[in-house]
Structure 1
Amino acid sequence: MRRRALDAPVSEGRRVWEWIQQIRPLHPSLGLWRPTADSPQEAEQGPPITQDYLLQYIHDAQTTSRYPHFSLAPAFSGQINQGNKLELSFNKPSPGNAGIGLMTGEALGSALDASEDLADTLMHTTASVFTPNIIGGLSRSDHPIKNLNRDKPYPFFYVPGWKMFFASDSPHYQRATQLATRTVPVANGAIFTFGTPDTYPTILNQW
């Protein structure tokens, strides 16, 4: 989910913490969040993260970065080497932008494939907390690769997804409405469903 930052990175981190609290009950693998580590052994021994830890991690990444833009992966949830990884970026792809990504592990990924209600709730919660003004999506890592020479790239610069969020003032909002199999208004836009986790690439190739 990408959005425009409304404040300094550390202040944005408070919203990330709020989001973590809201998604904890959605799936067992989202209940416990621990710091990323250099080895599975260190990760296993890591204590649960706190808001202070998260904000300090963001602050340290910002102050040690050689450039205005920076990325970090401060925490994970679920089983070691099989869990979900939190990724944050700031001032990417443009100054003032911020992004959040959740690389889902096998347990959560399977649950999202099996339950559209869970997928909708995760998307709705994320859009409500961050009110992104660019784009957000729920996609699978094994989705078919688009043939760019034959089909040309998508008009948006982010990975296409089974469910995608577009702000109502996005230039892609109207086309998303035309192709979506379901549309649910939320926050400052809508969540569009494009078929299923298996069929969405075919639908989006019509873009």
Structure 2
Amino acid sequence: MADTKQRKARRPWWVEIPVMTALGLAAALVIKTCLFQVFSIPSGSMENTLQVGDRVAVDKFTPLFGWEPKAGDKVVFHDPGGWLPPEPAKGAVAGAVGSTLSFVGLMPPAGDEYLVKRVIATGGHTVACHGTTLTVDGRTVSEPYLHPGDDSCSGLDFGPVAVPAGYVWVEGDHRSDSADSRYHRDDPAGGAVPVADVVGPVSAVIWPLNHIGTA
């Protein structure tokens, strides 16, 4: 008798599916807001550490407790202005679906005006590159993560550049294919990125399957 009552009390599938979908989206939104958010890798500027098309999870939890970027961190940050080319227009349906999924954190942010680079120096430090040697405060930086065939300067000498307080100096691991802080030294902050624009550190690659793992 009890089983019969339970079957009768169950919601029909056309009610159950929307309810479960709504709960799933709500949970994804909470995760995106407080824990992790998904971003895509649009270019080869971080090869071979991160590949074009990789989906990475960015930790948004630790920044809530005072985390700040440090040298060596791989971080996602909002385009400080003019670093990215305009994004091609999307169809109305694709744009609406993409915007919804990005809002809840299941896809990269709509517009995807974000970049991923490695922090080289933080506020108060000076960075320079001459010949093949990168230095921070005059000390040589060892860079085992560089793309094969690249060196730290890759033909672009600069500095020393003083990184303002509250900013970070960022460069790509594929140094010869990365339009990073080095190429924006005419910006008001001399190429540095505001810490306020940093979303968080890259914690893991979550797609494709053959790249899954800690970043």
Q: Normalising TM by the smaller chain, what interval?
A: under 0.3
Q: 1 or 2, which has the higher helix percentage?
A: 1
- State the TM-score, normalizing by the size of structure 2: 0.27
TM-score (norm 1): 0.27
Q: Determine which structure has more spread, i.e. the larger CA radius of gyration.
A: 2
Higher relative contact order (CA 8 A, sep 6+): 2
